């Protein structure tokens, strides 16, 4: 079983002189008009390069952020992304302000081999998020081939992800989606054992589906981050003022019971880094055990927990990591997450990291290049792992005759 069954790959299509629409996820973090992390642009290059080499006439499309107001049209323009693409690919990038005007149609046939078209932020058009048939039809009228390589957006039923490929005869996935799905399929269908899931982040409720879907496949869950406090509370361990999902305590109890019945282990922190008041410079203390005193809050896993989790990571065949171990955005509370990145780097296991913040934590740790795979799509990778179908992939699937 593979998530790519009956889906065409870009290499199987004829691209020469064809007008090729490539939907990408170039939704990069920006500050004051400058790109702060170009991982997603880098991830898109193999597919663009391939299409360039094959002599395609290329139209690139992406969203950026969540534009709402007129003001957002300035701050969320793809112009800086176009400039970066131009540098990285050494091509001339023509930005088209309005993807539904006739500009793209007119420009495409005249493109020179070192020129590509980039459509302005597709979410500036209302029809994108509404999965508008009309928007899709307009684009379909000026392209021959549709490629989806926007893994990070493929869990959304939007016009350039779903409505457009439905209208296209020639359609395929690019290199990034292929790699992402193949990696995630390893976890879903053939994990090397022991299979360990390292989870953290802010909420249990975000990750329930993944825990449930992987429950029968995993050997051990290691749980840190704020979600561990809800589990600890479910076991009647006090967690002081730590971030807690009070409404999810019964759910946590239920999950613990189901894991126990399967004789699966769920390990929680055995010590914590705590502060009295949340502040980047706050004085920190380390607890003696798993409980947190009244008036204090957990901000990271403690050293004993990090060592315990690292032991399991070293002995694992596969580790999937989603969710930081603490408030890693603050330097003093990032240690536990960095120690997990180091453990993954030093373990011979297959290591797969999913989730936007987890990917940032791994990047900040300096161990990113030692992971087997870091997913570029947080939400999409979680939805896929929890067993949901990705609308963007379903729209590409050809029925077997």
Q: Is 23 a catalytic residue?
A: no
Using the rule CB under 6 A, is 324 a contact of ligand ADP? yes
Cis peptide before 194 (omega within 30 of 0): yes
Using the rule CB under 5 A, is 209 a contact of Mg ion? no
Q: How far is CA 195 from the centre of its chain?
A: 21
Using the rule CB under 6 A, is 397 a contact of ligand ADP? no
Using the rule CB under 5 A, is 383 a contact of Mg ion? no
Binding-site partner at residue 3 among Mg ion, ligand ADP, none, CB < 5 to 8 Å by type: none
Closest CB 359 distance from ligand ADP, rounded Å: 7
Distance CA(362)–CA(192), nearest Å, equals: 22
- Residue 353 pairs with which residues in a beta bridge? 321, 374
Q: Which of 3, 43, 127, 201 binds ligand ADP (CB under 6 A)?
A: 201
Active-site option among 19, 40, 138, 335: 40
Q: How far is CA 387 from the centre of its chain?
A: 15
Binding footprint of ligand ADP, residue count (CB under 6 A): 20
Using the rule CB under 6 A, is 285 a contact of ligand ADP? no
Closer to ligand ADP by CB, 120 or 180: give it.
180
Task: Of 135, 113, 126, give the one whose Cα is nearest residue 56.
Answer: 113
Strand runs (DSSP E) across 205-325, as ranges?
220-223, 265-267, 272-275, 285-286, 297-301, 318-322
Binding residues among 325-364 for Mg ion as defined by CB under 5 A: 356-357
Distance CA(239)–CA(86), nearest Å, equals: 51
Stretch near ligand ADP under the rule CB under 6 A, chosen from 37-45, 111-119, 250-258, 356-364: 356-364
Task: Of 124, 133, 6, give the one whose Cα is nearest residue 64.
Answer: 124
Active-site option among 54, 73, 186, 203: 203
Q: Is 138 a catalytic residue?
A: no
Closer to ligand ADP by CB, 162 or 210: give it.
210
Using the rule CB under 5 A, is 29 a contact of Mg ion? no
In 4-153, which ranges are continuous DSSP H helix? Answer: 39-53, 72-75, 79-89, 103-107, 126-129, 133-140
Q: Which residue has the tokens 């302000």?
A: 97
Q: Which of 357, 362, 367, 373 binds ligand ADP (CB under 6 A)?
A: 357
Tokens standing for residue 215: 């429950």
Binding residues among 225-284 for ligand ADP as defined by CB under 6 A: 225-226, 243
Q: What is the SS3 assignment for 179?
A: helix
Site map (CB under 6 A) of ligand ADP, residues 209-228, x = contact: ----------------xx--
**Burial category of 250 from C-beta neighbours within 10 Å (exposed 0-12, middle 13-18, buried 19 and up):** exposed
Active-site option among 54, 304, 379, 397: 379
Distance CA(160)–CA(183), nearest Å, equals: 24
Contact positions toward ligand ADP, by CB under 6 A?
200-202, 206, 225-226, 243, 298-299, 322-324, 326-327, 329, 355-358, 378
Contact positions toward Mg ion, by CB under 5 A?
356-357
């Amino acid at each position: 079983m593979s998530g790519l069954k009956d889906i065409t790959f870009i290499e199987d299509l004829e691209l020469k002189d064809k007008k090729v629409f490539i939907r990408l996820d170039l939704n990069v973090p920006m500050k004051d008009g400058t790109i702060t992390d170009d991982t997603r642009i880098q991830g898109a290059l193999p597919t663009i390069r391939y299409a360039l080499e094959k002599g395609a006439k290329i139209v690139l499309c992406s969203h950026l952020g969540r534009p709402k107001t007129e003001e957002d049209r300035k701050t969320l323009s793809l112009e800086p992304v176009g400039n970066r693409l131009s540098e990285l690919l050494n091509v001339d990038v023509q930005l088209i302000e309005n993807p539904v005007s006739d500009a793209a149609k007119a420009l495409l046939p005249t493109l020179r081999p070192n020129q590509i078209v980039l459509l302005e932020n597709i979410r500036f058009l209302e029809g994108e998020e509404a999965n508008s048939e009309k928007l899709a039809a307009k684009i379909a009228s000026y392209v021959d081939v549709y490629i989806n390589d926007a893994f990070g957006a493929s869990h959304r039923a939007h016009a350039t992800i779903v409505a457009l490929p439905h209208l296209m005869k020639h359609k395929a996935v690019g290199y990034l989606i292929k790699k992402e799905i193949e990696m995630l399929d390893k976890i879903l269908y053939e994990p090397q054992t022991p299979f360990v899931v390292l989870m953290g982040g802010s909420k249990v409720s975000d990750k329930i589906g993944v825990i449930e879907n992987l429950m029968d496949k995993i050997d051990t869950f290691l749980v840190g981050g704020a979600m561990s406090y809800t589990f600890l509370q479910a076991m009647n361990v006090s967690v002081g003022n730590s971030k807690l999902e009070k409404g999810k305590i019964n759910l946590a109890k239920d999950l613990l019971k189901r894991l126990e019945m399967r004789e699966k282990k769920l390990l929680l922190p055995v010590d914590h880094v705590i502060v009295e008041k949340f502040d980047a410079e706050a004085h920190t203390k380390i607890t003696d055990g798993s409980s947190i005193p009244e008036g204090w809050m957990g901000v990271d896993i403690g050293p004993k927990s990090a060592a315990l989790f690292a032991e399991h990571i070293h002995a694992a065949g596969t580790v999937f990591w989603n969710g930081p171990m603490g408030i890693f955005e603050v330097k003093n509370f990032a240690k536990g997450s960095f120690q997990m990145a180091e453990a993954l780097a030093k373990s011979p296991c297959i290591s797969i990291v999913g989730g936007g913040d987890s990917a940032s934590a791994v990047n900040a740790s300096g161990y990113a290049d030692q992971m087997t795979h870091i997913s570029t799509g947080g939400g999409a990778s979680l939805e896929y792992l929890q067993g949901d179908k990705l609308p963007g992939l379903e729209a590409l699937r050809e029925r077997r005759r």
